[in-house]
Structure 1
């Protein structure tokens, strides 16, 4: 197996541009690249998929059990010529999320440096990152093997930078005028479903990689991978055979951890997908999964699709098992107040109204304890996930059964709820099913028994 991690000195240094360039360049050469994204970010992972033609997989050592992380990486890498992991934030930020992955997976690291405001001092920076990585994950791992310099202003600037770096290889650079603009909005870049990268831009990324990055040397360094012990799958392959799962997926709802869907499919569940924006009603299923996304951007279209929102409300009233998170939860509330104060009615399963704000309302890792049985688990189960949104509930004093005890990564109790109406569960927290695969599967097995 060949693999490497693209890390960065800090957020905004150019990791995504470099990662997309390498993925595009190697894919154009005819190689199969399997992309991964460190941390909980959905959007960068979607961009990887556009360039690689393979679904990118999130790897998160806080949300995922260690064995599940290893299984995800090993199974996801099957058939690939190179497995490329894009880091999150700086290499040691977030509790060393990216650096930790290099130790767990035994992968070499390539560091992206924003060189726009430095020259010879880059040598000290590289030296420090290399030594601190050794201290953090140990000297028996491949460690820092190379750097790629971003936003280089001239040939003279490049020469000064290269002369100052003696610890590792300089694998390439990107000039500051080589800008690939990807549109942003409040939760980050635009999603892959909205095609934020055109065919021409992907081609330009591959040209940048061929011209400015030593792709042959990148491939050579990626061989320096520590062998990993084979890890068993998290679930038996037929345990959910016969279970029909319907997932909402379109431009408004696209935030799913790929391993959540992989786990369901691996267990034998039959997955189907529907569009709350365009379809008349959901398909017939035993379990409905409505993920996050940008319902606020498509609120008018969702609200006007009265047959769909009515059908979802009817499913909830019938006690059908439904799990909705973040944007999916918003769809199940009474409606969405946009920043222009216009109100868009939604399914009305939950008695809350939501409203968009101009500031971030919540961001961070979450651990939830189930206080009652529900569609995704039984009382006492715990799951880990992530919360990030710019909307909020307008009236938190409305009486509604909350079955979550929610804590952050430092074990501080939070007010974020998991609301249960009959057999419909909604919350702002995005859960990663590999944080407790056995708990989820056991809950869903009861649905198989009840439908057989």
Structure 2
């Protein structure tokens, strides 16, 4: 794949969170997948839950793009590879179009990908034109596709919105207010974000409802030829080389509804490091497979505390693994599962595996959010944090994460606890940001 790959692509962005980007991306992916097109979806920034819906809608794996966390070279390589295989690339933005350093607009501008602005127009009229004009003109030269109005009351409302645009060519249609069964949100939410698609038996019905609504818009009526107006040339970019530092080692990875926060790229990095991956499901009562190291990813252990604690065989296996001095890396929800107990908002205290001393307390407000980096002797791991719980852990704090551009400070960042060969933190790592540091977490170089 050493030549330029050309493929229609869109960055779906908004002026803020909560405008309906995820619904529009999932609807677009489902609509074109139903028409037999190969669709690849990417998500800007850290997110484990939206990709569940996009994977179901598109039928393909969903990866992250982030100029800081994953890096421009990694973004370029993934986009080029996708362009070779896909008929359409969709990229869901995060927050507002211009929010933060290395914003969605920066990504769109860097790769020349047109921006589709989704605007929640439920309580809006001609002001939509002002918002659209501002998004389009704020940064000169920004690649632009047009505007899609969301949660529109009807045809008359849609016409009012369209008439407010300075450039009529920007109008790509209007979506009505979409609801699930019982009048709730089409894509329901809980703390941390959307309910994962696989948890809802009617998830595909919901996606088809959104796709059907989109099919009635000018955007949804575009055929293969019309989509070429969004075609982008993606230059070749070889992935950064990864030394086989984990060759001959097996990494056991917990993976089920309680431990579902896994980036496909993290698994790819472990495999490129030479590791063999062995998956197991704590919720299914499975024991720890034979392995040299363990990864407990994040997820929702608080929703499954009782079956987690009931897997006494796995608990014993993890204790034996740690007693043998074998590495165990636990992220966020994975760390929570290692606590002695968890205090839920309803006042119940439930036992967990007890490998780390202390109790997790789940609260109703955010306790940590944002990009983080972890400096290890082998390199700098980039990643993020996002959690509603706190952990009164009595294990030693080996180090702490820091925000980008800042150093480690006492009582700042996320603690990295170390108890023997067990290391755990609320920090979610992007393994490809430092394969050498990742390999160290899983025992590379250990006797």
TM superposition score normalised by structure 2:
0.90
CA–CA distance in 2 between the matches of 1:218 and 1:113? 24
Residues 258/200 of structure 1: CA separation in 2 closer, same or farther (3 Å cut): same
The 3 A distance-change label for structure 1 pair 192 and 425 is: farther
> Is it true that 1:126 corresponds to 2:124 in the alignment?
no
SS of aligned partner of 2:100: helix
Structure 1 residues 443 and 387: alpha-carbon distance in aligned structure 2, compared to 1, 3 A threshold: closer
Partner SS for 1:253: coil
The corresponding residue for 1:376 is none
Partners of 2:236 and 2:443 in 1: CA distance: 27
CA deviation map 1:210-252 (0-9, x unaligned):
1235335486356544433322222348664433221101010
Q: Which residue of structure 2 lines up, in the alignment, with residue 407 of structure 1?
A: 402
CA distance in 1, matches of 2:383, 2:438: 14
Q: 1:153 matched to which residue of 2?
A: 153
Q: Check whether the contact 2:246–2:444 (CA below 8 A) recurs between aligned residues.
A: no
Task: Give how far 1:96 is off.
Answer: 5.2
Partner residue of 1:437 out of 435, 438, 442? 435
Residue 3 of structure 2 aligns with which residue?
A: none
1:393 corresponds to which of 387, 391, 394 = 391
The aligned length equals: 432
Which residues in structure 2 correspond to 1:235-274 (within 5 Å)?
235-236=241-242, 240-274=246-280
Structure 1 position 342, deviation (Å)? 2.5
Determine if contact 1:33/1:83 at 8 Å carries over to the other structure: yes
Secondary structure of the structure 1 residue equivalent to 2:233: coil
Name the CA distance, whole Å, in 2 between partners of 1:422 and 1:233: 35
**Cα distance in 2, alignment partners of residues 234 and 319 from structure 1:** 31
Answer whether contact 2:340 2:359 (CA < 8 A) is retained.
Answer: yes
Structure 2 CA distance for partners of 1:442 and 1:410, relative to 1, 3 Å: closer
Distance 1:77 1:326, change over 3 A: farther
Query: What is the alpha-carbon distance in structure 1 between the residues aligned to residue 66 and residue 223 of structure 2?
Result: 24
Residue 74 to residue 124, structure 1, CA distance change in 2 (3 Å): same
Cα separation, partners in 2 of 1:230 and 1:85, compared to 1, 3 Å: same
2:69 alignment partner, SS class: coil
Aligned match of 1:425 in 389, 399, 423?
A: 423
| 3-state secondary structure, aligned to 1:212 | coil
How far off is 1:444 after superposition?
5.5
Q: 5+ unaligned residues in a row in structure 1: which ranges?
A: 371-378
By how many angstroms is 1:114 displaced?
A: 1.1
- 1:170 pairs with 2:199: no
Structure 2: 5+ residue stretches without partners: 1-6
Asked if structure 2 preserves the Cα contact closer than 8 Å seen for 1:235 and 1:437, the reply is no
Provide TM-score, normalisation by structure 1: 0.89
Query: Deviation of residue 422 (structure 1)?
Result: 1.9
Q: SS where residue 199 of structure 1 aligns? A: helix
1:53 to 59, 64, 77: 59
Deviation, 1:48, is 0.6
Residue of structure 1 in register with 2:208 after alignment: 203
Contact 1:126 1:165 in 2 (8 A): yes
1:410 & 1:273 partners in 2: Cα distance?
35
Question: Which residue pairs with 2:192 in the alignment?
Answer: 187
Cα pair distance change 1:295/1:427, threshold 3 Å:
same
**1:280-316 superposed Cα distances (whole Å, 9 cap, x missing partner):** 3111112211100000000011111111122112211
What is the root-mean-square deviation of aligned Cα atoms in Å?
Answer: 2.3
Distance 1:362 1:151, change over 3 A: same
Q: Hey, what's the Cα distance between the residues in 1 that align with 2:222 and 2:243? A: 40
In structure 2, do the counterparts of structure 1 residues 90 and 222 end up closer, same or farther at CA, with 3 Å as the change threshold? Answer: farther
- Displacement of 1:442: 6.6
The residue that corresponds to 1:373 in the other structure is none
Deviation of the 1:387 alpha carbon: 0.8
Cα distance, 1:271–1:346 mapped onto 2, change above 3 Å? same
User: For 1:261-340, what aligned pairs fall within 5 Å after superposition?
Assistant: 261-340=267-346
More deviation, 163-172/49-58: 163-172
Instruction: For residue 241 of structure 2, give the secondary structure of its aligned residue in structure 1.
Output: coil
In structure 2, the CA distance between the partners of 1:120 and 1:15, relative to structure 1 (3 Å rule), is: same
Distance 2:258 2:397 in 1: 26
